[in-house]
Structure 1
Amino acid sequence: MAALAWGEWLNWRWSRALVGRGTGASAAVVVLGYRNPQATANLINRWRVRAGIRSTAGDGARGSCVIFSGGATSGGATEAQLMADYATSVLEFDGTVLLEDQSATTWENITNVIPLLEDVDRIKIVSQPAHALKARAYLRRQRPNLAERLVRADDYRPGEWMVVKPLLALYGLWTLRGLKADERKLFRDGIG
């Protein structure tokens, strides 16, 4: 039970780090891809797409869009295309979809979506909480002015993935080891 509670708490904390209370009429939800060697979206990418779409709920913002980000897979199609296909054909998402299909790393995901984020008021990055935090930190490093627009996505829900959250937390600690102390804090600059 303690391991489950610890995993839940750490994922909750990461989902709230480096975000503010952005306001404005337009929003972009960036969904980061995960290794996908098959011809359809894998389990992780399907979950990320669902979390991305639910992150648009309640926005009601004009000009909102979902950006799927991820490059080529061994199956030929890009992660971005596989996720977009899942969103539109299986989940019947009919909102605005943009593709960033050149990235092979999280750093590249952020670098390559920046041109698509220039004109939006609120930015949500969707992945597992540790991975999304890493991407938010990368946006902060690359474009601090855009990072000021970051808001929380709906990629953390209590109890979701509960059994594997301790493993996700351990992996997250390992992947986040390169972040600076101020990139791990719960609320950015008193905003939150």
Structure 2
Amino acid sequence: MQRGTRLAVAAAAALVWGEWLNWRWSQALVGNREGPSEAVVVLGFRNPQPAANFINRWRVRAGIRSITGDHARDTRLIFSGGATGKGVAEAELLADYARSVLRWDGEVLLEDRSRTTWENVINVIPLLEDVDRIKIASQPAHALKARAYLRRQRPDLAERLVRADDYRPGEWLLGKPLLALYGLWTLRGIRAGERKLSPR
């Protein structure tokens, strides 16, 4: 096999692997719970600048597209993330982007104290108590980590988790191998049982 062919095969394998792993993470620790009310939790990403960065803008879009038509009226959109340094809280930047750019006019709640994913989950729990369905929107590995944390902290609420629309085939295609590598690193504290695909 010529060198160019070998490189092409290796690149294709890396893309398939990244796609598969991100898909798998998006399917873990979620169920098919029904109910009229839902909360979509959008987790913030480090954002020292005064406007939402590329990753945070994508996370907001993923959160909004996670709202199904049947539940739009009964959905609360929760933005979670504290300030980076002395800047504005991530939650505020996310909410501003949702309202001013994406024209979201539904219910918005802010959790603006968290500095870690564990704190994200702890601090949004009071906002989730009375909803039927919970979606967590972020990159698939990060969202899985948050779902695992919710399962550890409040297993009763974790029973309400359903899949967010934060994984789509081909989206971020070239970056998915890198996201997969980073995801493996960030999920190193998540037990094997917390990564298994949810039963359908």
Give the Cα–Cα distance (whole angstroms) in 1 for the partners of residues 180 and 192 of structure 2. Answer: 17
Aligned-partner SS, 2:60: helix
- In structure 1, which of residues 46, 51, 55 is the aligned counterpart of residue 62 of structure 2? 51
d(CA) in 2 for partners of 1:32, 1:46: 11
Aligned positions of 1:14-163 closer than 5 A: 14-60=25-71, 62-74=73-85, 76-163=87-174
8 A Cα contact 1:69 1:109, kept in partner: yes
**Secondary structure in 1 matching 2:32:** coil
The correspondence for 1:171, drawn from 179, 182, 186, is 182
The superposition leaves residues 134-187 of structure 1 with CA deviations (integer Å, 9 ceiling, x where unpaired) of 000000000000000000000000111000100000010111111111101011
Partner of 2:5: none
State the identity as a percent. Answer: 77
Deviation at 1:74, TM superposition (A): 3.2
Greater Rg over alpha carbons, structure: 2
Residue by residue, what CA displacement relative to the aligned partner does 1:98-149 show, whole Å, maximum 9, x if unpaired? 0000000000000000000000000000000000000000000000000000
Q: Is the 8 A contact 2:43 2:120 kept in 1?
A: yes
> Which residue identity lines up with residue 169 of structure 1 in the other structure?
A
Count of aligned residue pairs for this structure pair: 189
Quote the RMSD (CA, aligned, Å).
1.0
Specify the SS of the correspondent of 1:178. coil
User: Which segments of 5 or more consecutive residues in structure 2 lack a partner in the other structure?
Assistant: 1-11
Where do 4+ consecutive residues of structure 1 move more than 6 Å?
A: none
> Which secondary structure state, in structure 1, belongs to the residue aligned with residue 52 of structure 2?
coil
Displacement after TM superposition at 1:72 (Å) = 0.8
Query: Aligned partner of 1:52: which letter?
Result: G
Any conservation in 2 of the 1:81–1:99 contact (CA below 8 Å)?
Answer: yes
Normalised to the residue count of structure 1, the TM-score between the two structures is 0.96
Moved more, 50-59 or 22-31: 50-59
